[in-house]
Structure 1
């Protein structure tokens, strides 16, 4: 039985969404094609009618996730200082630590992106640079935007590595407060 183009597109979107959640929660390399397809109720053989390889799926996940992160964290170019501070507070939260599947892909997939082929890394670089540029416009500093972006991702990675919720909260709170000092110091100059 032949499926319509819209059915194929819907299946591809379901596969992307399900695979993104799985990748951010458990790591992309840990799940095989059969497992990814089973999660959406299809056989492993159907995978290749949507993607030529698992690497192509990963590239699509990176693009999808980083595009969504850019939208959430930069506000499509309508970012204000107050909105940036709200985004940072949400980003550096226990909810984000505890639910990687619904958050930013960078802390969850950063190491896998770094080990990917150059095409995936270049794609990720484009999205990350767009986010940094958005923050730099608000902050008035390229270097501060890079520092805050790096600190946010690093704080989340460290908090997720830890077991004790109080220590996790301390990492997040310390990072949020330090970022606040950096932003305040930028305006004092």
Structure 2
């Protein structure tokens, strides 16, 4: 039975979404093709109608997840207040407790680092775009990289902790450090600087 191009695109998107969730929950390398396809109700053989290999699927997951991160954290009208809100959301207990619905970098970063050069170049492209969006607002490219690394590292360390109290300590310490580096937007300063 032949499926329409629209049906095939919808199935591919379902596969990417489900695979992204499974990969962020338990790692990509440990999840087999059959398990991925079963998650969306298809057989393992149907996989190859969408991807030529598991590596190609991983590359597509990285593309999808990091473009989504850029959309959430770095697109639209940049403002210091928006950046602070995004960072507060990122460094939250909800994000710690729900890795499958959060940022892919803390969960898949090590696998991306071991992936082929094409996957790493694609990840670099999306991360640079996010860093550039933050750097434009902050006026400091190095600070943008430092905050990006601080957020990802804090999330990884918080998830390593066994107790919610320690997880909260890690998040709060990171928020405090970032608050010093990214003070709230001063309306008086911006008005006087425009004169």
Under TM normalisation by the shorter chain, which class is it?
Answer: over 0.9
Deviation at 1:14, TM superposition (A): 0.4
Deviations 1:5-41 (A, max 9, x none): 1111111000000000001111101110000000000
Larger Rg: 2
Where does residue 79 of structure 1 map in the other structure? 78
Where does residue 138 of structure 2 map in the other structure? 139
CA separation in 2, counterparts of 1:90 and 1:60? 25
Where 1:28 maps in the other structure, the secondary structure is: coil
Within a 5 Å distance, the mapping from 1:147-186 to structure 2 comes to: 147-184=146-183
Instruction: Provide the aligned length of Structure 1 versus Structure 2.
Output: 186
Where does residue 55 of structure 2 map in the other structure? 55
Where does residue 25 of structure 1 map in the other structure? 25
Where 2:182 maps in the other structure, the secondary structure is: helix
Deviation at 1:180, TM superposition (A): 0.7
Is contact 2:84-2:182 (8 Å) kept?
A: no
User: Do structure 1's residue 67 and structure 2's residue 70 form an aligned pair?
Assistant: no
Please identify runs of 4+ aligned residues in structure 1 that moved more than 4 A: none
Is contact 1:77-1:134 (8 Å) kept?
A: no
Unaligned runs of 5+ in 2: 187-195
Where does residue 13 of structure 1 map in the other structure? 13
CA separation in 2, counterparts of 1:91 and 1:65? 15
Where does residue 119 of structure 1 map in the other structure? 118
Deviation at 1:138, TM superposition (A): 0.6
Deviation at 1:77, TM superposition (A): 3.8
Where does residue 192 of structure 2 map in the other structure? none
Deviations 1:26-74 (A, max 9, x none): 1101110000000000100000000000000000000000000001001
Unaligned runs of 5+ in 1: none
Deviation at 1:2, TM superposition (A): 1.0
Is contact 1:97-1:159 (8 Å) kept?
A: yes
Structural RMSD (CA): 1.4
